[in-house]
Amino acid sequence: MEPKPKDESQPSDQWPHKAWSLLSAVRRHSPLIQCITNFVSMDLMANTLLSAGASPAMLHTLEEIPDFTPQVHALCLNVGTLSADWLPAMKAAAEFASKSGKPWVLDPVAAGASVFRLRACLELVQLKPTVIRGNGSEIMALSKASVGPTKGVDSSHESTDAMEAAKALAQASGAIVAVSGAIDVVTDGKRVVGAHNGVAMLQKITATGCSVTALIAAFVAVDQSNALEATALALSIFGVAGELGMSLARGPASLRMHLIDSLYGLDEATLISRVKITSFGD
């Protein structure tokens, strides 16, 4: 008798074990992650990376990039407080990372808010990021290459609304595309998985989206050959830390503190019992 095909619509019992394995690898190897990011997010991004076991470097000077970027394990680019002065450094860092065979992750913050911002994001996409992580509105703007009404850095669309746009962007760019939302959607253009962990109050803390992008960079750094899985697992693990933090928090400020503590203290039993990733199928 031929074996029955695996039902991809059901949660895989392998995801939680993969989550612990990958988090352990990050803690063991402490990958160096260069972040060229916005002024608002630097603190939380750096502390998220440190609490997960990675090593952050907030280095964005163009003159230092030829010496420094080839030495990192992954690069994270975030356009939140984009300026004309920083864009050349972002492009140079992406080029050096690619030439060095290092993965890099793009966070196209408010991509559709202005022509300048959209053009900059599209130019960065042309430099072949390993992963693109944004909210539904950002991914739809990139996929359509169009400026439209926005709520600043907040999304006007659910992640599942942007699923087809994400698949199209992944196919066009060659990147893994992740869409943050109530369910975090991750696709390579064909396969689509959803990470179901997290709490709504994370949206009330600035830079949590930026921080999970940095965490994705750390996870991809230790498992570059499985970038889709590494991306989904980073999103799920960050969500689990948010759930644990929420159980101790009284509001956004205390959740921020407990989020970092919870990410630092994650253990195998907790991840195996809480990580939830499922497949949407082809």
Q: Which helix (H) or strand (E) holds 77?
A: strand 74-78
Q: Quote the distance between the C-alpha of residue 185 and its chain's center.
A: 11
pLDDT at 12: 58
- Give the mean model confidence (pLDDT) for residues 35-64: 97
When pLDDT is cut at 50, 70 and 90, the band that residue 3 belongs to is: very low
> Which amino acid appears at position 40 of this protein?
V
Pair 191, 50: CB distance under 8 Å:
no
Where does the pLDDT of residue 64 fall: very low under 50, low under 70, confident under 90, or very high at 90 and above?
A: very high
Q: Which residue in this structure is represented by tokens 């050349």?
A: 88
Structure confidence by residue, pLDDT tens digits, 138-162? 999 999 887 655 544 444 445 567 8
- pLDDT value of position 145: 84
- pLDDT surpasses 70 at 91: yes
Q: Which residue from 67, 65, 130 is spatially nearest to 102, judged by alpha carbons?
A: 130
Please state, rounded to an integer, the average pLDDT across all residues of the chain.
91
Please say whether the beta carbons of 17 and 272 come within 8 A.
yes
What local confidence, expressed as pLDDT, does residue 158 receive?
Answer: 56
Q: Assess contact for 186 and 175: CB atoms under 8 A.
A: no
Q: Is the pLDDT of residue 31 over 90?
A: yes
Q: For the segment 239-273, what is each residue's pLDDT rounded down to a tens digit?
A: 999 999 999 999 999 999 999 999 999 999 999 99
CA angle 153, 141, 169 (to 5 degrees): 120
Strands 131-135 and 176-180: parallel
Q: What percent of the chain lies above the pLDDT cut of 70?
A: 90
User: In this structure, are residues 16 and 41 in contact, taking their beta carbons and an 8 Å threshold?
Assistant: no
pLDDT digits (tens, 9 = 90+) for 195-245: 999 999 999 999 999 999 999 999 999 999 999 999 999 999 999 999 999
What pLDDT is stored for residue 159 in this prediction?
Answer: 55
Residue 193 has pLDDT above 70, yes or no: yes
pLDDT class for 6, splitting at 50, 70, 90? very low
Lowest mean pLDDT among 68-72, 103-107, 161-165, 179-183: 161-165
Please check the confidence at residue 275 and state whether its pLDDT lies above 70: yes
3-state secondary structure 180-205: ECCCEEEECCCCEEEECCCCHHHHHC
Helices assigned H by DSSP within the chain: 14-29, 42-52, 65-68, 87-99, 115-125, 136-144, 163-173, 208-222, 227-246, 252-265, 268-274
Q: Please, which pLDDT band fits residue 9 given cuts at 50, 70 and 90?
A: very low
pTM for the model stands at 0.91
Phi, psi of 61 (to 5 degrees): -80, 125
Tokens of 88: 């050349």
DSSP state of 133: E
Q: Which of 22, 78, 30 is nearest to 56 (CA)?
A: 30
Bigger pLDDT: 9 vs 167: 167
Quote the CA–CA distance of 180 and 183 in Å, as a whole number.
Answer: 7
Residue 282, pLDDT score: 43
**Among 110, 235, 113, CA closest to 181:** 235
Give the pairing of strands 104-107 and 131-135: parallel
Rounded CA separation 224/203 (Å): 28
Length of the chain: 282
For 218-227, what is each residue's pLDDT tens digit?
Answer: 999 999 999 9
Of 134, 81, 139, 77, nearest to 104 by C-alpha is 77
Protein fold of 14-146+157-272:
UDP-N-acetylmuramoyl-L-alanine:D-glutamate ligase (3.40.1190)
